[in-house]
Chain A
């Protein structure tokens, strides 16, 4: 049975449609990312699945429950990390985990969690003295203190510096290795690529692409790009005539990379032309994402 089933989900705020008919399924043990720009409908979708919001239409099932009517049993089995930190400032790290853990019938130990999120040195410190990244990791600890089967992570690293993000990622990777199902929202491509088994790209309230990070938007089938620069004033000839100019670089789309490289390097050697800064790559997830979401002008 799927951990999450979403069918034709719709959410209106007055006249504004935030979610316009979304379908997806998350399998148990899977890390599923909703990737999209701000205002695309990610958080609205997640908050409906958490039971924080009601839906305007469609069907959803989370761990077999309808979150809108589910009660204590449902909340025993989910963990939520909200988008903004909200922890009593005057409690210490240990106290915060303790008081939040008490409400679950089955819970993980405070000590274990402090270690898992790497806050050993701050265990006795007040929440108000923590840095943004440390608070976020504490939030993560609170999200999993009830040992949930399903964890919601709403933009877990927004506003982090790169090292704090790496740290948070390793904590999340730790969790997923325990077999937890995770629904993640993010607007960072690298985060989705790093953490998720599957990604749905959401834009203007609709899912515009879905797949693994490697195959998303036809990346697996996309032809490889060979690109390079030439010294100023070089006369282009031979196989290079097939290349299109992209700024001061030349780009060749190729299905048979070996042959193309052989041809252009052969031509270059023969004509004594230096090929500068040769790169071989496929469209990045970012390219796909920007194309799918219309240039990312939202952010």
Chain B
């Protein structure tokens, strides 16, 4: 028996540590979040060559590394957080946590904190690999803007990920729901395809209403030497309208998620459901 005061902050810290440990022990999640975007980068630069893109003035590697960094960050927060949270809910893990003194917000903060940490790793790994393999350049003036864009971007997609987990009727449906929303958006948001001047203005406008294109654009511009030069000092690098769009989505998703989020398993506890069925069959 040890009696000791526990601060909420240290609880958050330990929750993050354990969520990280679980993440790294789940090879599939680690692969899709860290390795998958790297593979895309290699494939795209191999297929298209690492030439200068005439329309936007940067090399393919420079463009794709920033786009894939955003994709990795979004996978870590939106897709992973949604899927892992829904599985934990349907396994009954959330329900058990709810029966302990751990405040719910600390548990959620642990999951979000871990997802953000892994998103940061995905971005750093992508940029490090890009700079070594494809000569991707990083500009000091745009770094503050990139960091703020990252923080608001992952916060926005973490809130959306939790909302998807809350709305999904079962954990099986969660990856479908997450990918069916993310992938089409990625195609029209300049993540997989370069949005040049030939892109229909209407499509661009529609994509701009969703949070992915603003995230990608603000990130991409920070790596575009012409854009960085044109915007002047570090304060000029900030993409205020794009940040505003992401913050609106973040607040909306967070408010809605807190209303619809449940801690009870849906469609029966997964293992328990199987066990009951097999007992009934006996």
Contacts and interface: CB of A to CB of B under 8 A. Distances in A.
B2 interface: yes
A85 interface: yes
B1 A85 contact: no
Given A84-B271, A86-B92, A105-B6, A50 B99 contact: yes
Contact of B100 (A75, A87, A88, A147): A75
Interface string A137-149: 0000010001100
Contacts of A65: none
Contacts of A80: 96, 99-100
B14 interface: yes
Interface residues of B, number: 32
Interface stretch (A95-103, A196-204, A208-216, A243-251): A95-103
B271 to A, nearest CB: 6
Contacts of A75: 99-101
A103 B275 CA distance: 30
Nearest to A152: B99
13 contacts: A52-B98, A80-B100, A83-B269, A85-B92, A88-B93, A90-B22, A99-B14, A102-B6, A102-B14, A103-B101, A105-B101, A106-B2, A147-B1
B25 A83 contact: no
Interface residues of A, number: 33
A212 B104 CA distance: 39
Contacts of A104: 100-101
Given A72-B103, A75-B101, A100-B100, A105 B4 contact: yes
A80 B100 CA distance: 8
Nearest to B96: A86
B3 interface: yes
Given A72-B103, A95-B18, A86 B4 contact: no
B11 interface: yes
B91 interface: yes
Interface in A62-79: 72, 75-76, 78
Interface string B191-219: 00000000000000000000000000000
A107 B100 contact: no
B5 interface: yes
B137 interface: no
A51 B3 CA distance: 25
Q: Is the interface of A mostly helix, strand, loop or mixed?
A: loop
A180 interface: no
A146 B269 contact: no
A230 interface: no
A65 to B, nearest CB: 13
B272 interface: yes
B137 to A, nearest CB: 38
Given A80-B99, A103-B11, 5 more contacts: A83-B272, A86-B91, A88-B18, A95-B18, A107-B1
A103 B96 contact: no
A104 B101 CA distance: 6
Interface in A8-38: none
A159 interface: yes
Contact of B18 (A82, A86, A91): A91
Given A90-B26, A91-B18, A105-B6, A72 B92 contact: no
A129 interface: no
Contacts of A91: 18, 21-22
B268 to A, nearest CB: 9
Nearest to B110: A99
B279 interface: yes
A87 B101 contact: no
A83 B92 CA distance: 10
B171 to A, nearest CB: 13
Contact of B21 (A72, A90, A146, A159): A90
A225 interface: no
Contact of B5 (A88, A95, A105, A142): A105
B272 A109 contact: no
Given A52-B98, A147-B1, A87 B93 contact: yes
